[in-house]
């Protein structure tokens, strides 16, 4: 009785592995979790306090579907100041995390059979959402040798009559790649020429250690007119459980997305939006982000050193996010695939990693370094012990 669209729907592999690690931990097993897609720090107190204040003031009722006006204004200011793109508040829609935002964008633009270009490795959710909506995910394979950077020439090879959308995610999950500005400009030009919409998922914009994050919508009015700039409070302010994300796009799309919001989630939890507003307004927020990112930088260096010294394992030195995506194919071939390798690591090494096949490529493991540095070191040492036994 299930619909054809959901027949092949998979649960999020990243959430599954995190749940498995939590389950083992509840049984007293000391598992080191490399699966986390969220910063390990708590949400800053000033954000929590703003939310508490909103609760006390009775901000507990339905709110406008596109988001409270103050928040949409603050987002417009942020986009101008930090990303160099001018949006009106009426071009911004707030929804329950960027995951829902992406779903609403795709709902707004996809017809049955429309193709969506997705550079692979990809964040697990993109192809699933496209499939649920009757679209066709078209993977653009990226290579480790090229640092998992997307090139305009490669995109062009996958464009067909049915191509409707290209999803960009830089800084990237799972590879950490930060696409160079010149390449993004070429890709954006191609999309303008070929009438392809760009969904630019920028939720890791603050996690950049080498290179620079640029918003494609800042390139020109033409590019802006075909772009959905997607962002989230989840990673930047360690607010993953609050479920606040947003899109900025031309008003004709924003109106439809707000309508979809009103017919699905109604609005983001009203008092959570006041917390998000504080995150954009409070000057302490910059310091919080800076401190967090400098800690991630330290972890990344250490993790890169340790992982690149594992025999038979290669790893790209990526510019951003908080993931590494090393190639363990020598070992995954040995045990019958990366899913099995991840199982062996959790069973024998008590380390939880997400297998690369969840992100579209076999033989890799995604390692999140969103955990204290001592645990990070201990975890990689545990991986080393398991690999030594496999060799
Ligand atoms: C690339 C990417 N986009 C979007 C999201 C969704 O974040 P949220 O729905 O919490 O805003 C994630 C979360 O892991 C992600 O990695």
Q: Are 148 and 316 in contact (CB under 8 A)?
A: yes
Atom of ligand 1 nearest to the CA of 201: 3
pLDDT at 5 over 90: no
Distance 185 CA to ligand 1 centre (A): 24
The three-state DSSP-derived secondary structure of the chain is CCCHHHCCCCCCHHHHHHHHHHHHHHCCCCCEECCCCCCCCCCCHHHHHHHHHHHHCCCCCCCCCCCCHHHHHHHHHHHHHHHCCCCCHHHEEEECHHHHHHHHHHHHHCCCCCEEEEEECCCCHHHHHHHHCCCEEEEEECCCCCCCCCCHHHHHHCCCCCEEEEEECCCCCCCCCCCCHHHHHHHHHHHHHHCCEEEEECCCCCCECCCCCCCHHHCCHHHHCCEEEEEECCCCCCCHHHCCEEEECCHHHHHHHHHHHHHHCCCCCHHHHHHHHHHHHCCHHHHHHHHHHHHHHHHHHHHHHHHHCCCCCECCCCCECCEECCECHHHHHHHCCHHHHHHHHHHHCCEECEEHHHHCCCCEEEEECCCCHHHHHHHHHHHHHHHHHHC
Whether the per-residue pLDDT at 22 is higher than 90: the answer is no
The residue assigned the tokens 């490795």 is 121
- Calpha distance 68→79 (Å, rounded): 17
Band the pLDDT of 331: cuts 50, 70, 90: very high
Does residue 169 line the site of ligand 1, with CB under 6 A? Answer: yes
Contacts of 344 (CB under 8 A, 6+ apart): 335, 386, 390
Strand ordering across the sheet containing 163-168: 92-95, 245-248, 227-232, 197-201, 163-168, 115-120, 136-141
Q: What pTM does this model have?
A: 0.95
Two structure tokens written together for 169? 């995610």
**Where does the pLDDT of residue 23 fall: very low under 50, low under 70, confident under 90, or very high at 90 and above?**
confident
Is the confidence at residue 7, as pLDDT, over 90?
no
Q: Tell me, using a 6 A CB cutoff, whether residue 200 lines ligand 1.
A: no
pLDDT grade for 14, boundaries at 50, 70 and 90 = low
- The CATH T-level fold of domain 46-282 is 3.40.640
pLDDT in tens, 177-190: 999 999 999 999 99
For the chain, the maximum distance between any two Cα atoms, rounded to a whole number of angstroms, is 62
CATH placement of domain 4-42+286-390: 3.90.1150.10
Q: Mean pLDDT, to the nearest integer, of 355-371?
A: 95
Check whether 164 has a pLDDT greater than 70. yes
Of 98, 119, 128, best ligand 1 pocket probe by most atoms within 8 Å of the beta carbon: 98
Distance from C-alpha of 249 to C-alpha of 104, rounded to nearest angstrom: 12
| CA–CA separation, 110 and 116 (whole Å) | 9
Confidence of residue 13 (pLDDT cuts 50, 70, 90): low
- From the CB of residue 287, how many other CB atoms can be counted at a distance below 10 Å? 11
CA–centroid distance, residue 291 to ligand 1 (Å): 21
Q: How far apart are CA 261 and CA 265, in angstroms?
A: 6
Cβ(123) – ligand 1 distance below 6 Å: yes
pLDDT in tens, 188-227: 999 999 999 999 999 999 999 998 999 999 999 999 999 9
Query: How far apart, in whole angstroms, are the C-alpha atoms of residue 66 and residue 191?
Result: 27
What's the whole-number mean pLDDT along residues 288-303?
96
Q: Residue 37 CA: which ligand 1 atom is closest? A: 14
**Ligand 1 pocket check: which of 120, 178, 232 to mutate, most ligand atoms within 8 Å of Cβ?**
232
- For the chain, the structural domain boundaries read 4-42+286-390, 46-282
Cα-based angle 199, 216, 263 (whole degrees, multiple of 5):
30
- From the number of C-beta atoms within 10 Å of its C-beta (0-12, 13-18, 19+), residue 112 rates as exposed
């Amino acid at each position: 009785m299930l619909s054809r669209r959901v027949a092949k729907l998979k649960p999020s592999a990243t959430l599954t592995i995190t749940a498995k690690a939590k389950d083992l931990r509840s049984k007293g097993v000391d598992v080191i979790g490399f699966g986390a897609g969220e910063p390990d720090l708590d949400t800053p107190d000033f954000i929590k306090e703003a939310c508490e204040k909103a609760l006390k003031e009775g901000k507990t009722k339905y709110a406008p579907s596109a988001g409270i006006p103050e928040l949409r204004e603050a987002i417009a200011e942020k986009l101008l100041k930090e990303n160099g793109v001018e949006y009106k508040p009426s071009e911004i829609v707030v929804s329950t995390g960027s995951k829902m935002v992406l779903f609403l964008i795709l709902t707004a633009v996809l017809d049955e059979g429309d193709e969506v270009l997705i550079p692979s490795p990809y964040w697990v959710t993109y192809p699933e959402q496209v499939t649920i909506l009757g679209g066709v995910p078209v993977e653009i394979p990226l290579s480790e040798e090229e640092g998992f950077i997307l090139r305009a020439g490669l995109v062009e090879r996958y464009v067909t009559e049915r191509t409707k959308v290209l999803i960009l995610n830089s800084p990237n999950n799972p590879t950490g790649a930060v696409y160079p500005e010149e390449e993004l400009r070429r890709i954006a030009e191609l999309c303008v020429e070929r009438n392809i919409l760009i969904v630019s998922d920028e939720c890791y914009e603050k996690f950049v250690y080498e290179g620079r994050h640029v918003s494609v919508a800042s390139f020109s009015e033409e590019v802006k007119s075909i772009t959905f700039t997607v962002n989230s409070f989840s990673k930047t302010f360690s607010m993953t459980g609050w479920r606040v994300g947003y899109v900025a796009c031309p008003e004709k799309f924003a109106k439809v997305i707000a309508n979809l919001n009103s017919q699905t989630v109604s609005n983001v939890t009203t008092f959570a939006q006041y917390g998000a507003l504080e995150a954009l307004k409070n000057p302490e927020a910059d310091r919080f982000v800076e401190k967090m990112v400098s800690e991630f930088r330290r972890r990344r260096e250490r993790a890169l050193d340790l992982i690149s010294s594992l025999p038979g394992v290669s790893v790209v030195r990526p510019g951003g996010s908080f993931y590494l995506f090393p190639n363990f194919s020598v070992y995954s071939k040995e045990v019958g695939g990366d899913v099995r390798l991840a199982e062996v690591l959790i069973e024998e090494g008590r380390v939880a990693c997400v297998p690369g096949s969840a992100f579209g490529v076999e033989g890799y493991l995604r390692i999140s370094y969103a955990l204290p540095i001592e645990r990070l070191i201990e975890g990689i040492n545990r991986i080393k012990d398991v690999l030594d036994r496999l060799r």
